Structure 1
């Protein structure tokens, strides 16, 4: 499976962030063709050393890296990416990779 991980930095107004994220952004992201699974963190996002600058981690799963790349070229993915400016002013890191079970 291929993964897209979004690490959202801690916003100034967490309630406004959560409201937009769950009411608007998640439905947009769930419309992306080829998306197989959408997970989000619950509670604090910590590092191995303790606190981190992140408020939320999201993991989106696709069948393959090729299907992830194809999905990112769709209008649904473009709308989801454009929506980041509406609530993720503190910043977001997007990581993509292919994975395998070991």
Structure 2
């Protein structure tokens, strides 16, 4: 299994980010077919209490990187990618990770 980890930096307007992500981006991205799992979360704190460099994270799961590449090249994937600059004013990082279940 492959995860696409999306790390969002702190936006210039957190309320606008939250609203756009919830009301615009999620409906656009839900049209992508083939995702095995998709989780999202707002960063609340770090274990040592220091400021986090990230505001929000998203985890998307598929069986392979090739499936992700095909999904992101699809019209639905392109629409989701094109929407990111509309709300991610604090920057964004995309990372592919191999998922290994430990427990």
CA RMSD of aligned residues (A): 1.9
TM superposition shift of 1:44? 1.4
Specify the alignment match of 1:11 in structure 2: 11
Shift, 1:75, TM fit:
0.9
C-alpha distance in structure 1 between counterparts of 2:45 and 2:81, whole Å: 22
Q: Which moved more, 1:48-57 or 1:18-27?
A: 48-57
Does residue 98 of the first structure (1) align with residue 98 of the second (2)?
Answer: yes
Other-structure match for 2:53: 53
Inter-CA distance 48–36: structure 2 relative to 1 (3 Å threshold)? farther
What secondary structure is seen at the aligned counterpart in 2 of 1:54? coil
Q: Secondary structure at the match of 2:5?
A: strand
The equivalent of 1:82 in structure 2 is 82
User: Structure 1 residue runs of 4+, over 6 Å off?
Assistant: none
**1:28 CA displacement:** 1.4
Query: Quick one: distance in 2 between partners of 1:56 and 1:29?
Result: 16
After superposing the two structures, state which structure 1 stretch, 27-36 or 73-82, moved more. Answer: 27-36
Provide TM-score, normalisation by structure 1. 0.86
TM-score under structure 2 length normalisation: 0.86
